Amino acid sequence: MAQSAAHLATWFGRVLLVTDEPKKLAPFPELAPYAALKDQHPLSGPVGAIRTALLASPSQTVFVLAGDQPNIELEIILKLRDLLEKTKADVVLPCHEGVIEPLYALWISMRRGFSRKPFTK
């Protein structure tokens, strides 16, 4: 996770780590440079963590990544960004082998407000 966070910090500047209990990250000093947020919806699974990040982020867009995601590719992130800008959608979710990946996706911040446009492919 520390390596992923370092890459993300290089690309985005700010990294937010959402966890059910931020104190759990204390034994990992390599994660200390990153903001640890308490999940505001701990019983809601990944959806709650995503919402916590979207509300907390000061950025216009938020790249969401699962903590156990092994590979991050800047090329894919840039494609997601281009699609988000082109479509004016609220989120761009990649699909890998028929599976939608909300935990490797680019979302607009909830501070910016969702457009509530219908989903289109």
* Tens-binned pLDDT, residue by residue, of the chain (121 aa): 888 889 889 998 899 999 999 999 999 999 999 999 999 998 888 999 999 999 888 888 899 999 888 788 899 999 999 999 898 888 999 988 999 999 999 998 875 555 544 444 4
Reduce the DSSP state of residue 54 to 3 states and report it. Answer: helix
Q: Is 30 part of a structural domain of the chain?
A: yes
Q: Give the Cα separation of 111 and 61 in Å (integer).
A: 10
Is the whole-model pTM more than 0.85?
A: no
Q: Is 113 part of a structural domain of the chain?
A: no
Q: Which two tokens stand for residue 13?
A: 């500047």
Q: Is 101 part of a structural domain of the chain?
A: yes
Q: What was the pLDDT predicted at 69?
A: 81
Q: Is 119 part of a structural domain of the chain?
A: no
Q: Is 93 part of a structural domain of the chain?
A: yes
Give the angle 43-47-75 at the CA atoms, nearest 5°.
Answer: 145
What is the CATH classification number for the domain harbouring 92? 3.90.550.10
Q: Is 10 part of a structural domain of the chain?
A: yes
Q: Is 118 part of a structural domain of the chain?
A: no
Question: Dihedral through CA 9, CA 11, CA 15, CA 17, nearest 10?
Answer: -100
Number of domains composing the chain:
1
Q: What was the pLDDT predicted at 112?
A: 57
Give the domain range for residue 31: 2-108
Q: Give the Cα separation of 62 and 68 in Å (integer).
A: 18
